[in-house]
Amino acid sequence: MPKVIIDVGHGGNDVGDIAYNRYEKDDNLRLALAVGEKLKNDYGFDVIYTRTRDTYLSQMERVNIANMEGGDLLISIHRIIGELPTAGPRLSFYIDEWEGVSERVSNNIASELQRLGFMTYSTEIRTDLPILRATSMPSLMFAIGRLNSEEDNEYFDSHLDEIATALAEGIANTLSNNPTIANYHIQTDIYTNLNRAMEVQLNMYMKGYPAEITEVGEYFTLSIGEYNDIDEAAKVELCLRKEGYNTHIIST
């Protein structure tokens, strides 16, 4: 079954946006846990959270958790301070690329949430955020409702279960019909230095593991093989780990 990484925005001393004595970090966690339960219980998805408590994690710590676990999709849950003249609860999406899985997920989520009264939404590419550019899977960040709107907050509180259901359905409708979901490759750690990535690549090649360097924003990673069978990928990964490499399997 598909695997979804849920990144819970902010946390700990990073409270996110504040309005009406309300912290964004708390709303993000409430919604993330609700969405994760829907994905697990209603659709049988495998779900990993970057946090389940009120703790602080840096952007790169979140990226490392996601890449270590591997997944078919990462979603990062937020709320937002927005312009108030817009009628109805506001929905904003930030994605890693156009015409990819993340855009399809955002469109499907928007379709589900519009039925609940979310009147307007926007989608844009964000290349400045590590959680979108440095993760090795389709990545999507979204903001559910404006924290500085009392009406949006009341709606968020009173319709939390319905919002979580709509989000889970939008995600499931996309991933369950994604024809590439059964393909796998093996990935190494992320490197900040290209020369270091090239050293590891040469070392792998000398041991019979042809690896390709992939640039992920300002970082680099190595990708080995393409496998339709996860068991086959796991056998190769085990051999790599015995050789001393830190690797994980990624769905593509």
Q: Which residues pair with 11 in a beta bridge?
A: 14
Lowest mean pLDDT among 59-68, 190-199, 224-233: 224-233
One-letter-per-residue 3-state SS of 198-212: HHHHHHHHHCCCCCE
Angle at 186 between CA 184 and CA 189, to 5 degrees: 140
Work out the number of other CB atoms within 10 angstroms of the CB of residue 240: 19
DSSP states of 106-126: HHHHHHHHHTTT--EEEEEE-
Question: In sequence order, which residues have a C-beta less than 8 Å from that of residue 142 and are 6 or more positions away?
Answer: 75, 76, 77, 78, 91, 92, 93, 94, 106, 109
Distance set, CA 3 to CA 39, 122, 238 (Å): 10, 26, 21
User: CA 252, CA 4: separation in Å to the nearest integer?
Assistant: 13
pLDDT recorded at residue 7: 98
* Overall average pLDDT of the 105-121 stretch: 84
pLDDT computed for residue 96 by the predictor: 86
pLDDT category of residue 252 using cuts at 50, 70 and 90 = low
| % of residues, the chain, pLDDT over 70 | 92
Residue 214 · residue 221 · CB < 8 Å: yes
pLDDT number for residue 13: 97
**Gap between the Cα atoms of 134 and 128, Å rounded:** 10
Q: Given the DSSP bridges, would you call strands 247-251 and 219-227 parallel, antiparallel or unpaired?
A: unpaired
pLDDT of residue 177: 67
* Whole-number pLDDT of residue 84: 59
Strands (E), the chain: 3-8, 18-19, 22-23, 46-49, 73-80, 90-95, 120-125, 139-146, 184-191, 212-216, 219-227, 247-251
Q: pLDDT value at position 181?
A: 47
The confidence band for 212, taking pLDDT boundaries of 50, 70 and 90, is: confident
**Upper half-sphere CA count for residue 229 (Cβ side, 13 Å):** 4
Residue type at 43 in one-letter notation? Y
User: Which pLDDT band holds residue 138 (cuts at 50, 70, 90)?
Assistant: very high
pLDDT in tens, 143-179: 998 999 999 999 999 999 999 999 999 999 999 865 4
Given a cut of 80, whether residue 229 has pLDDT beyond it is no
| 2-28 tens-digit pLDDT | 999 999 999 999 999 999 999 999 999
Percent of the chain whose predicted confidence (pLDDT) is above 90: 50
Classified as helix, coil or strand, 234 is helix
* Residue whose pair of structure tokens reads 């899977």 in the numeric block: 137
**Mean pLDDT, the chain, as a whole number?**
88
Closest CA to 72 of 143, 165, 140: 140
The most confident of the ranges 26-35, 89-98, 195-204 is 26-35
Give mean pLDDT, residues 225-235: 76
Task: Report pTM.
Answer: 0.72
Best-predicted range by mean pLDDT among 151-155, 227-231, 242-246? 151-155
Within a 13 Å sphere around the CA of 103, how many CA atoms are in the beta-carbon half? 9
Q: At what angle do helices 150-158 and 160-175 cross, to 10 degrees?
A: 70
pLDDT digits (tens, 9 = 90+) for 45-95: 999 999 999 999 999 999 999 999 989 999 999 998 876 555 567 788 999
